[in-house]
Amino acid sequence: MSEAMPVLEVRGLRKSFGAVDALVGAELICPAGEVTALVGDNGAGKSTLIRCITGVYPPDGGAIAFKGAPIGFASPTEARALGIETVYQDLALVEDLTVWQNMYLNREVEHGIGPFRWLDRRRMIAETEAKLERLLVNMPPVRAKVRRLSGGQRQSIAIGRAASWGSALVIMDEPTAALGVRERGAVEALIGRLRGEGVAQLVISHDLEQVMRISDSVWVMRRGRTIARWRTREVDRTRIVAAIAGAEG
């Protein structure tokens, strides 16, 4: 199987929560300019794997390499500094803040004189508009509080935020699970656009039709372990379903 230079490489990753072994041997390779799909039943360990990669949880064992260099992410901030952005299942949006405040959360642009620093609101509002306009089909008002947006709009903001900051790797945990057909199409278009820009994307999805449509490779997890991997064009849905259920690998 021919692969571009991997942006992310995970080997034998282990993670336990007390008596629960969430990861017992997770493997993953995400090459640049490709969409890597991660599939598996509920509780297979997909979310935990992502949280280890992004520094939310420290792994108990195994190795993570980013652009060839081994890393031990101590915090989400370090992962983000390297260019890894994540759209969590819960979207990590603050409902009582506006779209632009969420877009720039912990990345605020400030004016300042000496130790006195205050927000450059005008610039953040303008740049939020510019960034989201380039990526989104259906642009929500950037000054509105997220509380007032629809589920689809929120999803778009979360992905738009990750995409516009994440230069090397964007990770999405079920990006379209809560969306209608049209909004799902818009998100898939966004994923295609980012792929063209050379971004490595890791997408968790339960929608195997979608996996077949958008991904370059498929990785299957079961009970904390990676049990199968294919190039998407060399596999069909039935074999993926069988692997998820434990009939293969």
Partner 1 sequence: MMPAGAAASRVPAGIEAVLRDPGFWGDNAAVIGLLVIGVAFSLLTPFFLTWGNISDLLVSASILVVLATAQQFAIVTAGIDLSIAANLPWAAVVFGLVYTGGFGIPAAIVAAIAAGMIVGVVNGLIIAKLRVNDFIATLGMLGVMNGVALIVSDGQSFSVSSPFLQALALGSIGPIRYFYLIAIVIALAAHFLFTRTAFGTHVLATGGNRDAARNMGIPVDRMRIAVYVINGALVGLAAILLVARTGGSDPSLQTSQLLSSIASVVLGGSSLFGGRAAVLGTVAGALVLTTLLNGFTLLQVSEFYQPMAVGIVVIAAAVLSRLQR
Given the rule CB under 8 A, which residues bind partner 1?
A: 56, 75-77, 80, 86, 88, 90-97, 101, 105-106, 108, 110, 117-119, 121, 148
Q: Which is nearer to ligand ADP, 173 or 188 (CB)?
A: 173
Q: Does 45 bind ligand ADP (CB under 6 A)?
A: yes
The reply on whether position 226 binds ligand ADP by CB under 6 A is no
Closer to ligand ADP by CB, 33 or 62: give it.
62
90 binds, among Mg ion, partner 1, ligand ADP, none (CB under 5 to 8 A by kind): partner 1
* C-beta of 25 vs 45, nearer to Mg ion: 45
Is position 90 an interface residue for ligand ADP (rule: CB under 6 A)?
Answer: no
Residue 110 binds what, of Mg ion, ligand ADP, partner 1, none (CB under 5 to 8 Å, by partner type)?
Answer: partner 1
| Residue 43 interacts with ligand ADP (CB under 6 A): yes or no | yes
Concatenated DSSP letters of the chain: ---PPEEEEEEEEEEEETTEEEEEEEEEEEETT-EEEEE--TTSSHHHHHHHHTTSS--SEEEEEETTEEE---SHHHHHHHTEEEE-TTTT--TTSBHHHHHTTT---EEEETTEEEE-HHHHHHHHHHHHHHH-SSPPPTTSBGGGS-HHHHHHHHHHHHHHH-SSEEEEESTTTT--HHHHHHHHHHHHHHHHTT-EEEEE-S-HHHHHHH-SEEEEEETTEEEEEEEGGG--HHHHHHHHHTS--
Is 80 one of the binding residues for ligand ADP (CB under 6 A)? no
At residue 108, φ and ψ (nearest 5 deg) are -60, 140
232 makes contact, choosing from Mg ion, ligand ADP, partner 1, none, with CB < 5 to 8 Å by partner type, with: none
Cβ atoms 230, 207 nearer than 8 A:
no
245 binds ligand ADP (CB under 6 A): no
Query: In the complex with Mg ion, which residue's Cβ is closer, 22 or 194?
Result: 22
Stretch that binds ligand ADP, among 40-48, 62-70, 111-119, 139-147 (CB under 6 A): 40-48
Chain positions contacting ligand ADP, by CB under 6 A: 17, 20, 22, 40, 42-48
